[in-house]
Chains A and B, each alone.
Chain A
Amino acid sequence: MIHLSKVNKSYDTVKVLMDCSLTVKKGEVVVICGPSGSGKSTLIKTLNALEPIQSGEIITNGLSVHDAATNLSALRSQVGMVFQHFELFPHLSVLDNLRLAQIQVLGRDHSEATQRAQSLLARVGLQAHANKFPAQLSGGQQQRVAIARALAMDPVVMLFDEPTSALDPEMVGEVLDVMVQLAQEGMTMMCVTHEMGFARRVAHRVIFMDSGRILEDCSSAEFFGDVTQRTPRAQEFLSKVLAH
């Protein structure tokens, strides 16, 4: 489903990704964790070409992401993405947030797009808010709308970039619930997150990054199991995030 080999990326002289290679199979849920500035978010944004790379290759759903001949619009519409700060379109109603790309990119007609939007809003428990504007919703509700907006494109894989980091603690649960449900339905997911509970419970695999390198790539059972088997950097990270 997703395949990275020897991906390198740098901003001027600063290397942000170094020789990153990994494979994600269909139906897998992969959590990427690591200290801030380790390149997690950058990595996930290279998968749909929101970030360019300098060398290496990324294949997402059979398409070479950074090949000039690739139809980026078609590729991106198959890859759902959820952002830390929601990024709903504030000038559009919730319904129009979900409809716009269905109509403009997939060419669905208005009623079909509305139907799909409404069934997804029902699924994330927000059908009553269809005609509101994003600013009228809480953070947790906005993020659930953002997930529904991504799902409306019927993506084959979902990417989450710290989806709960900007939320009030009370609202983290409602967003994670939606993500857990998605994972249980067999959606292929890659998720940058600090929610270790979610990683332990839902993820099949955990990837640990530091300074632009992938240091650990193992099953979540292994990752949270025998800590002494981990790299020293991962041990240090785990001891801090799991301490409390």
Chain B
Amino acid sequence: MVDRNGSRTNAATGAQAIPGAGAGAAAAGGGGGVGVGRPFNPWPAVVFVCLSVLALLFLAPTLGVILSSLKSTREIAFGALWTIPGSLYLENFREVLAHPSVKTYFVNTFLVTVPATAGSIGLGILAGYVFSKLPFRGSELLFLVVVSGMFFPPQIILIPLFRMFSGLGLLDTLWPMIIVHVAMGVPICTLLMRNFFATVPNALREAAIVEGANEWQVLTRVALPISLPALAVLATLQFTWIWNDFLWPLIFTQSDEKRTIMLGIVSLKGQYSVAWGIQGALSLVASLPTLVVFLFFQRYFIAGMTMGAIKG
């Protein structure tokens, strides 16, 4: 389902010759075959070794953080950062989890991420349905304008939004972040939902209409139930992006009580400026929700990134 979805959306973003994003996963495993009955071919082994070395290099930075989070500041200062720790040292994590601010950051980030993810997807469903099933004169252009919203750097609306929310007295609350993430999520959600709904046969909709259903019923009872993969893609993407966001809390929050996790770990850095182990533990704890999402929903995540690869 996702594969098919991938090819549809790519067609719409313009990358016509790129079929299903998810299909990449299947193809990579089974690329160019090795001839049967030929003499021993060393290349697969060479490629495997190359990839292993590269993978190790690629993992090194992440491994470094994990290792440092399991060590005391003393150990790190003595140059033992890159060795495997002999015994499990969990003080850093204990310290991080006991920090009252960290809890606040986590709660705030959830309070922003969950409603903003749901809100942007909800709006994307509505707009995507109209653009795919109820097109009208000029709807293509309108769609293009909405979708192009995801190309622009957020800096271009920073100042007016700051002024708007300060005028509304909402600075230093969670509202501006929720609202802006919903609004900035409309382009990608509309794009993916429109392209997914386009794969829903028109005959299904017409049959439902003939039976007396209205558009809302077609949307909620016919189109949405078969669009679960698209919703999963969007949920993983939006959750990760909003959770990881740094710019908007930087602009809209002032007090520690309103910070989200990514801004929070930056502001805690001063407190633990030489305590690299604690900083490492902080980074890991802050990344945990997105890592969990990545591990369990990797397929959707990759499909979504290839489809709506525009954001990032």
A and B associate = no
B residues adjacent to A (C-beta < 8 A): none
A residues adjacent to B (C-beta < 8 A): none
